[in-house]
Amino acid sequence: MWHNVEYRKFTYVFFILLILFTIVMSVCVSMIGAIILFVCGLCLYLSCAVFTTLRYRSIAALSNYLQAVYNGQETMDIRNHKEGELSVLKSEIYKITSILKQQSDTMHKEKIFLADSLSNISHQLKTPLTGMLVMSELLQDEALPQEKRKEFLAQIQTQLKRIEWLVTTLLKISKIDAQAIEFHKQPIPLTTIINKALEPIRIPLEIKEINCHVECDEHILIHADENWCIEAFVNIFKNCMEHTPVKGTLQICCEDNPLQSIVCIKDSGCGIDPEDIPHIFERFYKGKNAASESAGIGLSLSKKILLEHAATIQVESELQKGSTFTICFHK
């Protein structure tokens, strides 16, 4: 405390004034009055010194706390819930350090997520690229039969379409994450979205002889962006279709009430393992029953789109009996 220049100046000025007033008191009034004045002044100084010492200790504790936070240690609750400027300062410092700690944790998680995402993306691209590289080398053989040549070219085209779909889907997810998409929401019949979302999988459904039954009132309206909602439903329908066996069933039914519009999508597929259910909407997650060519991003994109429409999606499943996706559009 004595190293503080301002405190030293205060001490010098205080004692100079105290001595001067004591001398004036002894000359003009009495020696006893001067002694009393000097003792009172000394007591006042000692009281100030004690108060300042305690204050310096609190400031030193704050300094140590900030140094600990700077070194990456856990933030401690330094608030003492008392009145006073120092207590207010402690509360404000605690708030700021808590916010900074949360931001640091968030950034750390984002770095880990980015590293995992890059690893997953590279893995998703490496597999088809490796296959195409091998087939392109085989195509250079002039003795290769024409049938094999056509087969390899068809496989290369299939892999290129898969890469295009993967990149396009990832771009859509990243745009939604960055809030770079403006959703043009308007009232639209739910049947319109369901029917348009089923169009891309009509032929695969017929090939697998899957019986698709839709039960939805034409008067049910939702406030949504038509194109993006169709994208969300297409991914869900594809997932159900891919996991439904030949001659299985796909049932789609809708309900409406004053609070929400509900869509239930039920398949008769192989079901989802209970351990996978909490993670199936996570990006790049592939469950135990996932197809080998699955990228694990379709359902993740669907959930992100639905969340932008104030909608929720849940899944219930039982192994060997099928799964039910329930989508609720809140009004």
CATH number of the CATH domain containing 310 = 3.30.565.10
Q: CA 146 to CA 139: how far, in whole Å?
A: 10
Whether residues 124 and 148 fall in one domain: yes
What pTM was computed for the model? Answer: 0.63
| Residue 229, pLDDT score | 93
Number of domains in the chain: 3
The reply to whether 128 and 12 lie within a common domain is no
pLDDT of residue 209: 92
Identify which of 169, 177, 157 has the alpha carbon closest to the alpha carbon of residue 124: 169
Which run of H or of E encompasses 106? helix 85-139
Query: Is 267 or 295 the better-scoring residue by pLDDT?
Result: 267
CATH of the domain at 156: 1.10.287.130
106 belongs to a structural domain: no
Place of tokens 């997953």: 120
**Do 67 and 95 lie in a common domain?**
yes
Stated as kind and residue range, the H or E segment containing 205 is helix 202-207
Q: Which of 104-108, 146-150, 236-240 has the lowest mean pLDDT?
A: 104-108
Predicted pLDDT of residue 237 = 93
Q: How confident is the model at residue 214 (pLDDT cuts 50, 70, 90)?
A: very high
Provide the domain limits for residue 124.
Answer: 114-177
pLDDT at 81 exceeding the cut of 60:
no
One domain, residues 36 and 129: no
- The answer to whether residue 107 sits within a structural domain is no
Give yes or no: residues 191 and 169 share one domain: no
Residue 120, pLDDT above cutoff 70: no
Q: Which of 52-66, 102-116, 298-312 has the highest mean pLDDT?
A: 298-312
DSSP-derived 3-state class of residue 328? strand
Distance CA 312, CA 240 (A): 18
Judge contact between 250 and 236, C-beta under 8 A.
Answer: no
155 and 196 belong to one structural domain: no
Of the listed ranges 46-50, 181-185, 265-269, 310-314, the least confidently predicted one is: 46-50
**pLDDT of 249 above 90:** yes
What CA–CA distance (Å, rounded) separates 138 from 150? 12
Question: Does the pLDDT of residue 288 top 90, yes or no?
Answer: no
